[in-house]
Structure 1
């Protein structure tokens, strides 16, 4: 079995996979063409097009992450080759922490207290109970479902949304266009954990934001393509006003953007009610990811079927 690795830390992946699969030939994309050509399987994160052009006999591609949008957008991606992505792989726990913090940032008024501190103001804000703070989670995949259930366990009413019907204990589940409208109208914080697909790009547009109750907050640790930036800025109101005033949105916590790093001229940097983090919500823990990678490679080597993504759906 010939395995080719491409990632920023490819040598570490190569050593770990070679140790777990001693009979396999494992090389990185930095190896000579003679060594790296004719691979059976590619284990990669955002591989360049030339790498696919060198590999006419690939039997499978293992994506080193949960998002496959960049991979599917590669014009050199060979058609018909099964693609397997990491599912959770230890990413759910840090994602839960990130979303939990972002929700509490608004529910416990830390955004307002930070503004008060800047003006030397000592004023307690009235506490809104968790039971009165409904949260919407868009995307109920492996990670989204765990985030939704963790928030519900914390005591928040949680509404989940997916393209197709799903049932999760403790979650009010919605689906389809009508379900999205129903969810948006009754949540105080909206969390976007959808994949980047043709059906989800720009799903948080002016119409969606207008459907949220006034004073709602937006949390996006998912994909940058989900939100129309112009509509978001309009919903946030003037950047020269610190408090929310009569703006539709109270604030936003954003971890993912259409262009990364976020360009220096993006008005999001300067908006006083936007908290920006550099796509760090859920880094992939190597040990958990490695276990999935090895299990998939062993299954392929044994001729077993492995659940792969649907390229048309984008996940």
Structure 2
């Protein structure tokens, strides 16, 4: 069994390849070499893979992603319909995503950003107590990440609803699904948290038409993909006062370019795509376990439904 390892990030063999070899001793794992020869790999382990990976390795039968989002894989030329695309299912990411959502929500609802300004001015002035019922939360996308986020925030007694393509039942979370129920979901939401996968249907979903349906003074948290957000529309709604602020972890262009208007906008909090990193040891164990299942002819977990994009 030949496996090609192609990652745009850390390529130190001791970081990924050697630990994977230890867990899959019956496989040959070859690091990707730019302009290198074809090795006739049957499997690939990737993160943001080279553009020509499927053209150079036409014998691939399955590709295992080192993250949850697979849009970078699906866009690569030469990907055949019969190649299984397998996403990372968690590997410690859902807990981090929930932590990030708590941070963004509590910072806004408990007015901690205003307390930071008071500290700079040496002002001691308690602000009004929180009224949680007024901080209605809506989570877009109820996969592994979104479900953990919704459950965590509901556990803090915020009124939480979730919206997804198909109906989901989560204890303590009001459920909305499909395009017909999206307006009702948005109308009851003050804090919108986006955890959707990036697909043709979700690209640009955070736009003027969608965001202006939120409750006045709404707050946006985007931890999905930068392409979900129409950036000019967010700025327009911030200027109009309909949206009071945003916490953004993902952007259409990363790193966020110098001079981008988001950098200097005090209403926007920026983090550099760090909301939920796949933890290395957990990721290696999950990918290696799935590959061992493949080698035994057993069903894989995390296989992407290609026409859905997740």
In which range does the TM-score fall when normalised by the shorter chain? over 0.9
Which stretch shows the higher mean deviation, 128-137 or 194-203? 128-137
CA–CA distance in structure 1, aligned partners of residues 266 and 180 of structure 2 = 33
Tell me the CA shift for residue 25 of structure 1.
0.9
CA–CA distance in structure 2, aligned partners of residues 114 and 188 of structure 1 = 22
Q: Label 1:118 to 1:236 Cα distance change in 2 as closer, same or farther (>3 A).
A: farther
The question of 1:201 aligning with 2:203 is answered: yes
CA–CA distance in structure 1, aligned partners of residues 120 and 227 of structure 2 = 33
Q: Show the counterpart of 2:41.
A: 39
CA–CA distance in structure 1, aligned partners of residues 27 and 241 of structure 2 = 59
Tell me the CA shift for residue 290 of structure 1.
1.3
Tell me the CA shift for residue 204 of structure 1.
1.1
Tell me the CA shift for residue 145 of structure 1.
0.4
Q: Show the counterpart of 1:5.
A: 5
Tell me the CA shift for residue 206 of structure 1.
0.6
Count, aligned residues: 306
Native 8 Å contact 1:49 1:77 kept in 2: no
Q: Show the counterpart of 2:305.
A: 310
Correspondences of 1:257-272 after superposition (within 5 Å): 257-272=251-266
* CA-to-aligned-CA distance 1:194-235 (integer Å, 9 cap, x gap): 011011111111111111111111111111111110110011
Tell me the CA shift for residue 128 of structure 1.
2.1
| TM-align CA RMSD | 1.7
Which stretch shows the higher mean deviation, 226-235 or 300-309? 300-309
Task: Give TM-score scaled by structure 1 length.
Answer: 0.92
Correspondences of 1:1-315 after superposition (within 5 Å): 1-7=1-7, 8-10=9-11, 11=13, 12-30=15-33, 33=36, 37-237=39-239, 247-307=241-301, 308-315=303-310
Tell me the CA shift for residue 302 of structure 1.
0.8
CA–CA distance in structure 1, aligned partners of residues 27 and 36 of structure 2 = 18
State the SS of the aligned residue for 2:52. Answer: helix
CA–CA distance in structure 2, aligned partners of residues 56 and 125 of structure 1 = 62
Native 8 Å contact 1:49 1:76 kept in 2: no
